[in-house]
Amino acid sequence: MTRHGVRKRFVVMLGLVVTLGVLMLQPTLRTKCFAYLSRKYIAHCTNENDKLWPGIVSPVFEPLVPVWTQIEPGVTMLLDPHDVVSREILMTGHWEPQTWQVMEPHVPVGGTFVDVGAHIGWYSLNAAKIVGPGGRVIAIEPDHETLRKLRDNIRASGDEAIITVVPVACYDSETTLPFYSAPASNTGESSLSLAAASQEGPVAASYPVRARRLDDILTELGVTRVDALKIDVEGAEVHVLKGAAETLDRFRPEISVEVDHDKVKEVRLFMRSHGYVPKKLTESNTEYVPVSEPPVGKSEGVGRNADGSKQ
C-alpha cells in the first residue's frame, strides 16, 4: 500500500474514532443517530420480526435520552425513547399508521378534528397539517405531565393557532374524578382507572381532575362542525361517548375509538342507538360511521350517505 493510501486509511479510521467518541459523550447525538438508523432499517423491512431488532440492540446505545425530532414538515415532537408511544414514533416515524390512514380521508381542509385522549399530540398534529389555518383541532388531555409535552409539541410544530388544548377528562357529567398517571415506560396508559394505569407497574402519580361532557366542551368553544372524532381513554370510552351523544347526533362525525374487550358490546349497542355502525377494526381501534340520518327524535345535524360520506 502506498504512503498516500496508508495516510488516507488512517484519516478515515481517525474520523470514525472521533465520531464514535462524540456519540458516546453526547447522549442527544447518540439517540438521534440510533433513531435515524432505526427508521432507515425498519423502512426496508418486509418481515415483522426483523423490525424488532432496533429494540433488541438499543441497550448498546444507552443511555438514550428524549430528543426533539422533526418527523415530517409540520410535525416536530420531543420524543422519549423509553416511553412506548414516543419510542414507536422515534424509531418508525409513525404511530398507529393504519388507524390514521382510515381517519385521514374524513379530515378535510377547513374541517374540525376532535382528539379525546390526545396524549403527546400525534393525531392532533397530523390533523392540524390537513385542516390548515381555516380549520380547528380540539386536543383534550387531563394528564399534567403529558399536557406539558403536548403543549410543547404544538408550539414546536407551529400549530398554536389551529390546536386548542383542553386540560380536562371527558366523561358523562360535570364532576371531579381521581386520575392516575401511568409509569414513564408507557404514559399512554394513564387513566381514570387505577387498574388500567398500573398495568406496567405502580402509578407515577394520582390527583383529582376536572371531568366534563364533550358536548359541553364543544358548545363552550363555539364549535360548529365536527368531521372526525378520535377517542383513546383507557377504559373510559363508554362514559366519554355518553357525554358526546349530542355531538354524535348533531354533527355525525366519523369516529375511531379504542374499546376495552369487556366494553365492546356496550359500546356497540350505544353507537347503534345513535345510528352508527362499526366499519373497520385497525390496530386496537374500531372505526364507527353514521348511517344516512340521525335516529328519530335526536338533534339534527349534517347528514351522511350509507357509505359514511357527508351529504
Q: Chain-wide mean pLDDT for the chain?
A: 89
Statement: residue 2 has pLDDT above 90: no
Contacts of 216 (CB under 8 A, 6+ apart): 174, 243
Q: Which fold has domain 97-290?
A: Rossmann fold (3.40.50)
Statement: residue 203 has pLDDT above 90: yes
Q: Rounded to whole angstroms, how far apart are CA atoms 16 and 8?
A: 13
Q: Rounded to whole angstroms, how far apart are CA atoms 137 and 161?
A: 10
pLDDT of 300: 43
Q: Across residues 39-50, what is the average pLDDT?
A: 83
- In 167-234, the DSSP E strands lie at 169-170, 175-181, 205-212, 228-231
Q: Rounded to whole angstroms, how far apart are CA atoms 302 and 311?
A: 7
Q: Rounded to whole angstroms, how far apart are CA atoms 248 and 253?
A: 6
pLDDT digits (tens, 9 = 90+) for 216-255: 999 999 999 999 999 999 999 999 999 999 999 999 999 9
pLDDT of 37: 83
Place of cell 359541553: 216
Torsion-angle region of residue 229: left (phi > 0), alpha (psi -120 to 50) or beta?
Answer: beta
93, 217 Cβ separation under 8 angstroms: no
User: What grid cell was written down for 106?
Assistant: 374524513
**What phi and psi values does residue 41 have, to the nearest 5 degrees?**
-65, -50
The predicted model scores a pTM of 0.86
Q: Across residues 46-68, what is the average pLDDT?
A: 85
Q: Rounded to whole angstroms, how far apart are CA atoms 246 and 85?
A: 31
Residue 31 exposed, middle or buried by CB count within 10 Å (0-12, 13-18, 19+): buried
Q: Across residues 63-90, what is the average pLDDT?
A: 96
Cis peptide before 63 (omega within 30 of 0): yes
88, 77 Cβ separation under 8 angstroms: no
User: What grid cell was written down for 214?
Assistant: 364533550
Statement: residue 57 has pLDDT above 90: no
pLDDT of 304: 43
pLDDT of 162: 98
**What phi and psi values does residue 47 have, to the nearest 5 degrees?**
-105, 125
32, 67 Cβ separation under 8 angstroms: yes
3-state helix, strand and coil shares in percent for the chain, rounded to the nearest 5: 45, 20, 35
Domain boundaries, the chain: 3-92, 97-290
Per-residue pLDDT band for 186 (boundaries 50, 70, 90) equals: very high
Q: Across residues 4-10, what is the average pLDDT?
A: 56
Pairing assessment for the beta strands 112-116 and 228-231 based on DSSP bridges: parallel
**What phi and psi values does residue 73 have, to the nearest 5 degrees?**
-55, 125
Per-residue pLDDT band for 101 (boundaries 50, 70, 90) equals: very high
274, 298 Cβ separation under 8 angstroms: yes
